[in-house]
Amino acid sequence: MPGKMTFNVYDDVHKKNAEGIEYDLWRINNGKDRVNMKHEKLADGNSHVLVEANKEEELGTFEVVIYAKDYFDRFNEDIEVKNSRYVIPFGVKDLSQDYHLNIHISPTSYTCTL
């Protein structure tokens, strides 16, 4: 059974899942080299698989980059967004473990729980 990390993004301003928000997934090698693994949009409010590790060498350290400004700009509500993106580091360390990352965003900050 593979180890995997799923996630969802919730918009605290509009009290709904952040449908259509763009994100990048980066793998961090040796603590410094970054490799882009995907650039996608969340299609709906369901959980999405960020990482699925089937072998030990697929485990490791990652970052998900959430493009908050682009998302909030779509609403045409004159919302001032403090940061254009939020960078959230995480690790997948066990092939037998499933993880879920809940991310809540607002124009000024984000919170997340694992």
What's 83's domain CATH number?
2.60.40.180
Q: How many CB atoms lie within 10 A of CB 77?
A: 10
Owning domain of residue 30: 3-113
Say if residues 110 and 103 touch (Cβ distance below 8 Å): yes
| Mean pLDDT, range 37-56, rounded to an integer | 84
The residue ranking higher by pLDDT, 45 or 86, is 86
Beta strands in 1-114 (DSSP E): 3-11, 16-17, 22-29, 33-41, 48-53, 60-66, 86-92, 98-105, 110-113
Q: pLDDT per residue over 66-85, tens digit each? A: 999 999 999 988 888 988 99
pTM listed for this prediction: 0.88
Phi, psi of 73, deg, nearest 5: -60, -25
Q: In the beta sheet, which residues pair with residue 103?
A: 9, 112
List Cβ neighbours of 75 (8 Å cut-off, separation of 6 or more).
14
- The tally of domains found in the chain comes to 1
Judged against a pLDDT cut of 70, whether residue 13 lies above it is answered with yes
The residue ranking higher by pLDDT, 6 or 44, is 6
Say if residues 74 and 22 touch (Cβ distance below 8 Å): no
